[in-house]
């Protein structure tokens, strides 16, 4: 079986945005214009293709990322083919079509994991902005994720038909809050109810969208009243492009006319290098502008061949290995998402970085060291599946039958193993207790929770050792609410849930040392373990620094082995480390997990007969707990970045109320007729805030929030937390 589309005609990209900016509405137009659907689904009608979960359709939001494959013939090619009366139209259309592998991602902060893991495997992104609100909090978070992954981006300022829409204000917010390298590719013709089309600054043409659902893209002369404005902004655009090439700059300064094709080729290189972020505009709901964004995906976003080869390490030697995007290379792929399918079981979404893989073959999971049989391979159209026999380099598909594969695992050829860098996820900030209603539910609940936590790495489960309760943890109240709902609908598990609780942590602010001896004598062979540990706050590792050989660094603590002269035999050191890890799981102030601690093993002793791993493990746990008690321990609480949009008449009430919640107002700006308040507020103060805000503002204010950082709790608040824990 051969590849059906050449790699240079493949585009793997995501559609990302803040909640309610119009991602799913844009995705539905993409499916319609590419011929994958014959009816446009609308979010408000609950009949969209990409929002296929019941919970998504009920709430009108995206919860899980949906993968779709479609094919696009650029509008300028379509015009050329239709203008040629002698052309073999079907043959030429097939020749000039591009394959799009698209992932529509959620915009709600509770499901930000979907954006992060999707961007890890995608080659480009279309970032959608609300034409009224411009850059919003989740826009910044998504942009940061894309920066971390060096993902090339196009911007699409949507909803220009809305009252209060402003292309210029939204564009300025991108320049001020995201990147100075954004540049207008288009300007709108009219705004709000007068919005009728767009002007392409590179081609200097006006475009209108006619026919059923705006399917016909009609090029016209620029209306006279917009000519001067278009010339001004084209001059800015051309200057920005020629800056990227010395020879072009020279020609431009000499007054030469640079062909549009040359400008496009130079712009493409700059976009792929993340030096320019082109900005397009339109209204997906009113079917204006989306086709030109798809043309821009073809023109400016990279194919898998345009990106540098992928790097990984050998699982045993640790040496760096490079894999190129070719079918002839050894097979390698990264699992980036798991999804439970009611018909085929667990699906493991993977991106192939090199080589090919066939259904029915055995693959090697280098993250676990085990072989597994890949029984079937499917391509996804949201919740529908298309079975394929073989997947090639640069493609995205889903595997059926992999029992051990988890998010971030690397799949590869066993004779040529490689491990790709794992995707890092944020820790949960909120928790609640859950218990099954019946004994039958109890047996099913453990299995169901494990499947859900496999799907979403930010959804964690733990058992409270003191109370025996099962605790589920996540990024926000909505995420936990959805998970409990899925337990009931997908796994038929009825459960009682407690009130949401804040995921507090503990850390230390000073340094201390402690010694612990674990000695037991019981007639026969005894137990003996003796360690001395010092603890201090863990310092962040800058990009230049490397972890030393005697240091083991984890997400929330590091263990330093400074034993000299064999006072503790080498075989007992891992046991001490394990004891330290277990000792940090239960805090010394109120029992919350201890984090950001550097523990150094400096001294100890052993007994030739009585020493054992268990004795050193217990001694390590006791020593680290004792040392942390003396190192000025404090409780940490999650601080949220909160944005409140309110009419000006309620501004004083809103800021005063935030201050009463221990909030710190960072900035007050304007958005249309409303005021925007940016603040940092402890999560513990934000439960039920929406109800208070609505009553305070006659239902006219709204807010969004996302996790920002952890901060030490004030002493008077800490005392209340300790009492509550008792």
Question: What confidence score (pLDDT) does residue 418 get?
Answer: 92
Q: Please state the pTM of the whole predicted model.
A: 0.77
pLDDT of amino acid 506 = 94
How many angstroms separate the CA atoms of 67 and 680, rounded?
Answer: 35
Q: Say what the pLDDT of residue 411 is.
A: 92
Could you tell me the pLDDT band of residue 45, with boundaries at 50, 70 and 90?
low
CA 683 to chain centre: 21
**Interval 148-155 mean pLDDT:** 91
pLDDT on residue 458? 83
Could you read off the pLDDT of 528-555 as tens digits, one per residue?
Answer: 999 999 999 998 776 555 567 788 888 7
Q: What is the pLDDT of residue 104?
A: 77
Enclosing H/E stretch for 637: strand 633-647
Q: What's the mean per-residue pLDDT of the chain?
A: 85
159 is in an annotated binding site: yes
Beta bridge partners of 456: none
Mean pLDDT of 251-257: 86
CA distance 186 to 289: 10
Mind listing the pLDDT tens digit for each residue in 410-440?
999 989 999 998 888 877 888 888 888 887 7
Distance (Å, rounded) from C-alpha 586 to C-alpha 579?
Answer: 12
Establish whether 108 is an annotated binding residue. Answer: yes
**Confidence at residue 61, expressed as pLDDT on a 0 to 100 scale:** 52
| pLDDT band, residue 272 (cuts 50/70/90) | very high
pLDDT at 58: 53
Question: Is 160 annotated as contributing to ligand binding?
Answer: yes
Q: Is the dihedral of CA 658, 687, 584, 456 positive or negative?
A: negative
Contact between 502 and 684 (Cβ < 8 Å): yes
CB of 653 within 8 A of CB of 700?
Answer: no
Residue 596 gets the label, from left (phi > 0), alpha (psi -120 to 50) or beta, of left
| DSSP tag of 638 | E
Q: Which of 132, 239, 125 is nearest to 184 (CA)?
A: 239
pLDDT of res. 517: 92
Between 40 and 543, name the one with better pLDDT: 40
In whole angstroms, give the CA distance from residue 69 to residue 381: 6
Domains and CATH numbers, the chain: 6-298 (3.40.50.300), 309-418 (2.40.30.10), 430-496 (3.30.70.870), 504-630 (3.30.230.10), 636-723 (3.30.70.240)
Provide mean pLDDT across the span 182-186.
94
Q: What is the pLDDT of residue 650?
A: 92
pLDDT confidence band for 87 (50 / 70 / 90): low
pLDDT digits (tens, 9 = 90+) for 611-651: 899 999 999 999 999 999 999 999 999 998 898 989 899 99
Q: Is 285 annotated as a binding residue?
A: no
H or E, element range at 685? none
Highest mean pLDDT among 31-40, 244-253, 457-466, 651-660: 651-660
Residue 22 annotated in ligand binding: yes
pLDDT digits (tens, 9 = 90+) for 280-332: 999 988 999 999 999 999 999 999 999 889 999 988 888 889 999 998 999 99
The answer on whether 24 is annotated among ligand-binding residues is: yes
Average pLDDT, integer, range 581-603: 92
The Cα 108–Cα 99 span in angstroms is: 28
Compute the C-alpha angle 437/443/444, nearest 5°.
85
> Which tops the pLDDT comparison, 426 or 53?
426
What is the pLDDT at residue 52?
A: 43
Q: What is the pLDDT of residues 127-140, one digit of tens each?
A: 999 998 888 877 88
17 is in an annotated binding site: yes
The confidence band for 51, taking pLDDT boundaries of 50, 70 and 90, is: very low
Q: Would you state the structure tokens that stand for residue 715, as one six-digit string?
A: 């002493």
Question: Taking 90 as the threshold, does the pLDDT of residue 57 lie above it?
Answer: no
Q: Does 66 carry a binding-site annotation?
A: no
**Greater confidence, 477 or 40?**
477
Structure tokens at 557: 């603590």
Q: Known binder of ligand: residue 18?
A: yes
pLDDT band of residue 449 (cuts 50, 70, 90) is: confident
* DSSP H or E run through 562: none
What is the average per-residue pLDDT within 42-50?
A: 51
Element of type H or E holding 667:
strand 664-671
Does the annotation list 107 as a binding residue? yes
Question: Chain-centre distance of CA 136, in angstroms?
Answer: 16
Residue 19, annotated ligand binder? yes
Lowest mean pLDDT among 182-196, 372-386, 566-580: 372-386
- Of the two residues 514 and 500, the one the predictor is more confident about is 514
Q: For the residues 28-48, what does the mean pLDDT come to? A: 67
Percent of the chain residues past pLDDT 70, beyond the cut: 90
Does 455 have pLDDT greater than 70?
Answer: yes
Give the 3-state secondary structure percentages of the chain, helix then strand then coil, rounded to 5.
35, 30, 35
The pLDDT value recorded for residue 623 is 95
On whether 409 is known to bind a ligand per the annotation, the reply is: no
Question: What's the pLDDT score for residue 332?
Answer: 93
pLDDT band at 121 (very low <50, low <70, confident <90, very high): confident
pLDDT of amino acid 44: 47
Judge whether residue 82 has pLDDT over 80: no
Confidence of residue 602 (pLDDT cuts 50, 70, 90): very high
Average pLDDT over residues 376-388: 75
């Amino acid at each position: 079986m051969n590849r059906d589309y050449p790699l240079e005609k493949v585009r793997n990209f995501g559609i990302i945005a803040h909640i309610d900016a119009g991602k799913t509405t844009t995705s539905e137009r993409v499916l319609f214009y590419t011929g994958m659907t014959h009816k446009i689904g609308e979010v408000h009608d609950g009949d969209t293709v990409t929002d296929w979960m019941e919970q998504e359709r009920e709430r009108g939001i995206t919860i899980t990322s949906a993968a779709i494959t479609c094919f696009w013939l650029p509008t300028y090619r379509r015009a050329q083919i239709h203008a040629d009366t002698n052309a073999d139209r079907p043959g030429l259309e097939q020749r000039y079509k591009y394959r799009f592998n698209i992932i529509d991602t959620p915009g709600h902060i509770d499901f930000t994991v979907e954006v992060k893991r999707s961007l890890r495997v995608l080659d480009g992104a279309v970032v959608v902005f609300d034409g009224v609100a411009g850059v919003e909090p989740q826009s910044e978070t998504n942009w940061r994720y894309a920066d971390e992954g060096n993902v090339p981006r196009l911007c699409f300022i949507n909803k220009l038909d809305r009252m209060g829409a402003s292309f210029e204000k939204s564009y300025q917010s991108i320049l001020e809050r995201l990147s100075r390298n954004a540049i207008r590719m288009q300007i709108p013709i009219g705004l709000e109810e007068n919005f009728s089309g767009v002007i392409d600054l590179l081609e200097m043409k006006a475009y209108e969208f006619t026919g059923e659902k705006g399917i016909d893209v009609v090029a016209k002369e620029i209306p006279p009243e917009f000519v001067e404005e278009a010339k001004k902004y084209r001059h800015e655009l051309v200057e920005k492009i020629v800056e990227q090439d010395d020879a072009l700059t020279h020609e431009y300064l000499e007054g030469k006319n640079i062909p549009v094709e040359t400008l496009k080729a130079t712009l493409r290189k700059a976009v792929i290098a993340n030096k320019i972020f082109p900005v397009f505009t339109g209204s997906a709901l009113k079917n204006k502008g989306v086709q030109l964004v798809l043309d821009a995906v073809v023109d400016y976003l990279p194919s898998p061949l345009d990106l540098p080869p992928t790097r990984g390490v050998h699982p045993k030697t640790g040496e760096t290995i490079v894999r190129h995007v070719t079918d002839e290379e050894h097979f390698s792929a990264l699992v980036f998402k798991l999804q439970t399918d009611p018909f085929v079981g667990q699906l493991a979404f993977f991106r192939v970085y090199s080589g090919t893989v066939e259904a029915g073959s055995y693959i090697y999971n280098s993250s676990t060291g085990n072989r597994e049989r890949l029984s079937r391979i499917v391509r996804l159209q949201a919740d529908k599946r298309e079975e394929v026999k073989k997947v090639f380099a640069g493609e995205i598909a889903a595997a059926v039958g992999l029992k051990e594969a988890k998010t971030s695992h690397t799949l590869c050829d066993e004779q040529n193993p490689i491990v790709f860098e794992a995707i890092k996820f944020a820790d949960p900030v909120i928790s609640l207790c859950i218990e099954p209603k019946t004994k039958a539910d109890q047996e099913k609940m453990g299995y169901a929770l494990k499947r859900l936590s496999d799907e979403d790495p930010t959804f964690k489960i733990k058992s409270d050792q003191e109370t025996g309760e099962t605790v589920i943890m996540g990024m926000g109240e909505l995420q936990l609410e959805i998970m409990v709902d899925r337990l009931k609908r997908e796994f038929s598990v009825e459960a009682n849930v407690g009130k949401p609780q804040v995921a507090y942590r503990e850390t230390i602010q000073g340094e201390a040392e402690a010694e612990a001896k674990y000695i037991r004598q019981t007639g026969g062979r005894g137990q003996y373990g003796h360690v001395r540990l010092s603890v201090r706050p863990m310092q962040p590792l800058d990009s230049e620094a490397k972890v030393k050989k005697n240091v083991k660094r984890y997400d929330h603590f590091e263990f330093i082995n400074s034993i000299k002269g064999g006072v503790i035999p080498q075989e007992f050191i891992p046991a001490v480390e394990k004891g330290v890890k277990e000792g940090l799981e239960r805090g010394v102030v109120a029992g919350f997990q201890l984090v950001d601690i550097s523990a150094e093993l400096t001294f100890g002793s052993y007994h030739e007969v009585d020493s054992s791993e268990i004795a050193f493990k217990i001694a390590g746990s006791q020593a680290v707990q004792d040392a942390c008690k003396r190192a000025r321990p404090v409780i940490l609480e999650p601080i949220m970045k909160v944005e409140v949009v309110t009419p000006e008449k309620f501004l004083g009430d809103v800021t005063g109320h935030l201050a009463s919640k221990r909030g710190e107002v960072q900035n007050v700006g304007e958005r249309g007729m409303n005021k925007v308040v940016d603040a940092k507020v402890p999560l513990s103060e934000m439960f039920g805030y929406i109800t208070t805000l609505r009553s305070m503002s006659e239902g006219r204010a709204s807010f969004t929030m996302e996790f920002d950082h952890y901060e030490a709790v004030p002493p008077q608040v800490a005392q209340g937390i300790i009492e509550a824990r008792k």
